[in-house]
Amino acid sequence: MTRLSYLHEPGVLDNLAVRYAKNIIYTYTGNILIAINPFQRLPNLVDVQTMEKYKGANLGDLDPHVFAIADVSYRQMMNEGKSNSILVSGESGAGKTETTKLLMRYLAFLGGRSGTGGRTVEQQVLESNPVLEAFGNAKTVRNNNSSRFGKFVELQFDKSGKISGAAIRTYLLERSRVCQTSSPERNYHCFYFLCSAPSEDIKKYKLGDPSSFHYLNQSSCIRVDGINDAEEYLATRNAMDMVGITEEEQEAIFRVVAAVLHLGNISFAKGTEADSSVIKDAKSRFHLNTAGELLMCDCEKLENALIKREINTPEGVITTTVGPNSATVSRDGFAKQIYSRLFDWLVNRINASIGQDPSSDKLIGVLDIYGFESFKTNSFEQLCINFTNEKLQQHFNQNVFKMEQEEYTREQINWSYIEFVDNQDVLDLIEKKPGGIIALLDEACMFPKSTHETLSQKLYEKFKNHKRFAKPKLSRTAFTIQHYAGDVIYQSDHFLDKNKDYVVAEHQELLNASRCSFVSVLFPPAPEENTKSSKSSSIATRFKL
């Protein structure tokens, strides 16, 4: 790319397009690799022969390739003893996760222990992908296999350059998807996989067609071209075996997944007293009982946990009832918590079985984070995702522009300053403390009287002169942020609910008392000071960390 005579946007795009038309998907720009999604398996592009070819080759000697990038980072690590990170970024559907897998495969090829048989660290790392994707990926508008969580994989190497341990860190899973999907998207893959499981499993978990479950049938999309749910169920089970998840654990995992589906089918009707509710009908009662059985907890207590609320007062604990709407919110909150704890458990379990190498002082990290998103309707999740991407953009700016140019200045090289758009102002707008959007949102979540309307008014007032913030003309609750990748209009409607991250004490106690040790471990007793009043925990603030 740097050899182009005219280095401007049309020239760059044309160069990439011409190459792409010839199935050349990789191009260098300096030492950065641009990869364009081929949407097809290209012959001989990523096979073992190609890996052999790139092993030890200097960057630039061969055609641009993702293996070359991994090779450089590995050589540098070995020669200079320096740990490295490879950052894969791009918008949703650009091919980050696929590229990450290729990077891991190549690093496993370089640092693998050939011939040891059994489950090696690298095999387990590679096999963790299908497990995490089954529970953390979903079909979205942009991508049939969109990662709804961020992931940082750290490969640890020993002195001889062999992979000796690994750690997978994930960043907040989009949990609202568990209870809410709309056409043409789907919920997390695992729900559909399980509904296509062999008949004995279906019977055991009292499942049926995906379209009979509220959490799945809000969207008319049930099946996805190119995904065979029945085969994927078996593949996921296999991958679980590979990463060391026992048969017993797998059984509990899918029991919990099924329980979430049954929970979603519990409807409520108005009770005889004001602000109270009852289980709507026999069908709902069946799903309540099934959810209770699968979670191995007391069904009556489960019912109470959904339709009653205990309030701590100076005079002691008072039990009140809640109306059908609040009971539904409670049910959804319960389902989301169970699912996100299950996901975190999987990550921890995979890490425990792969094992870390505490004596390793060299590592290569690969970051695959959710890509920039701009949909017709954008909510809290998009704000978090786009905020993460702004952070990465800042890091990119820092490394590529600021540092390079500082070096030129230091070395008194004759150069002309390259303009780039610094996005610090967007970051300040979102994360500044106090006064940024997240701080104002957290504040709103603390006040019981706040609504998304009051929050929006506050944002309009506060940022009326901010050049990256705007109020769309016809809306009283939406706001626009000018991101580095374009303008995004956010609908603030569910921001407050989505930002709150606390487990209702009744839900926590109920599941902690489960007769199934797997479920009970997902909900350990909360530390004393956190019970009942831990309502200030916020998702957005955790995102900033």
Least separation in angstroms between CB 147 and ligand ATP:
3
Least separation in angstroms between CB 100 and Mg ion:
8
Q: Which of 3, 21, 30, 39 binds ligand ATP (CB under 6 A)?
A: 39
99/82 Cα distance (integer angstroms): 23
Is 145 a binder of ligand ATP (CB under 6 A)?
A: yes
> Which residue ranges are tagged as binding site for ATP?
90-97
373 is catalytic: yes
Q: Which of 12, 16, 37, 520 binds ligand ATP (CB under 6 A)?
A: 37
414 is catalytic: no
| Residue range at the interface with Mg ion (CB under 5 A); choices 21-29, 55-63, 94-102, 183-191 | 94-102
User: Where does residue 197 rank: exposed (0-12), middle (13-18), buried (19+ CB within 10 A)?
Assistant: buried
436 is catalytic: no
144/130 Cα distance (integer angstroms): 14
| Residue range at the interface with Mg ion (CB under 5 A); choices 97-105, 165-173, 244-252, 392-400 | 97-105
- When CB distances are held under 5 to 8 angstroms depending on the partner's kind, the choice from Mg ion, ligand ATP, none that residue 41 binds is ligand ATP
365 is catalytic: no
| Omega before 358 within 30 of 0, i.e. cis | no
Question: Is the CB of 177 or the CB of 468 nearer to Mg ion?
Answer: 177
Site track 131-170 with Mg ion (rule: CB under 5 A), x = hit: ----------------x-----------------------
Pick the catalytic residue: 371, 381, 388, 477?
A: 371
513/298 Cα distance (integer angstroms): 9
230/196 Cα distance (integer angstroms): 5
Is 97 a binder of Mg ion (CB under 5 A)?
A: yes
Contact 121, 351 (CB under 8 A): no
Taking CA atoms, 9 is separated from 14, 37, 336, in Å, by 8, 19, 44
Pick the catalytic residue: 100, 137, 146, 456?
A: 146
Pick the catalytic residue: 92, 129, 499, 538?
A: 92
Joined tokens for residue 319: 């039990």
Pick the catalytic residue: 147, 164, 351, 388?
A: 147
Query: Which residue, chain included where needed, has tokens 């049930």?
Result: 222
- When CB distances are held under 5 to 8 angstroms depending on the partner's kind, the choice from Mg ion, ligand ATP, none that residue 37 binds is ligand ATP
Instruction: Write the secondary structure of 436-474 as one string of H (helix), E (strand) and C (coil).
Output: CHHHHHHHHHHCCCCCHHHHHHHHHHHCCCCCCEECCCC
289/259 Cα distance (integer angstroms): 10
User: Where does residue 10 rank: exposed (0-12), middle (13-18), buried (19+ CB within 10 A)?
Assistant: exposed
Dihedral sign computed on CA atoms, order 240, 242, 246, 247: positive
- When CB distances are held under 5 to 8 angstroms depending on the partner's kind, the choice from Mg ion, ligand ATP, none that residue 95 binds is ligand ATP
The conformation of residue 269, written as its DSSP 8-state character, comes to: E
| Residue range at the interface with ligand ATP (CB under 6 A); choices 38-46, 67-75, 213-221, 464-472 | 38-46
> Which residue ranges are tagged as binding site?
90-97
371 is catalytic: yes
146/368 Cα distance (integer angstroms): 12
Is 41 a binder of ligand ATP (CB under 6 A)?
A: yes
| Residue range at the interface with Mg ion (CB under 5 A); choices 55-63, 92-100, 182-190, 322-330 | 92-100
Question: Is the CB of 106 or the CB of 268 nearer to ligand ATP?
Answer: 106
Pick the catalytic residue: 15, 27, 73, 93?
A: 93
Is 393 a binder of Mg ion (CB under 5 A)?
A: no
| Residue range at the interface with ligand ATP (CB under 6 A); choices 36-44, 165-173, 178-186, 463-471 | 36-44
Least separation in angstroms between CB 372 and Mg ion:
12
Those residues with Cβ within 8 angstroms of residue 242's Cβ, 6 or more apart along the chain or in another chain: 119, 123, 124, 127
| Omega before 64 within 30 of 0, i.e. cis | no
Which uninterrupted H or E stretch holds 134? helix 121-136
Contact 221, 139 (CB under 8 A): yes
63-102 binders of ligand ATP (CB under 6 A):
90, 92-98
56/381 Cα distance (integer angstroms): 41
Taking CA atoms, 193 is separated from 135, 181, 253, in Å, by 10, 17, 13
Those residues with Cβ within 8 angstroms of residue 468's Cβ, 6 or more apart along the chain or in another chain: 425, 426, 429, 481, 482
Least separation in angstroms between CB 167 and ligand ATP:
20
- When CB distances are held under 5 to 8 angstroms depending on the partner's kind, the choice from Mg ion, ligand ATP, none that residue 264 binds is none
Question: Is the CB of 146 or the CB of 423 nearer to ligand ATP?
Answer: 146
What is the total count of residues that contact ligand ATP (CB under 6 A)?
A: 20
- When CB distances are held under 5 to 8 angstroms depending on the partner's kind, the choice from ligand ATP, Mg ion, none that residue 92 binds is ligand ATP
Is 378 a binder of ligand ATP (CB under 6 A)?
A: no
Is 337 a binder of ligand ATP (CB under 6 A)?
A: no
Binding site for Mg ion (CB under 5 A): 96-97, 147
Catalytic residues: 92-93, 97, 143, 146-147, 371, 373
Binding site for ligand ATP (CB under 6 A): 37-41, 90, 92-98, 142-143, 145-147, 370-371
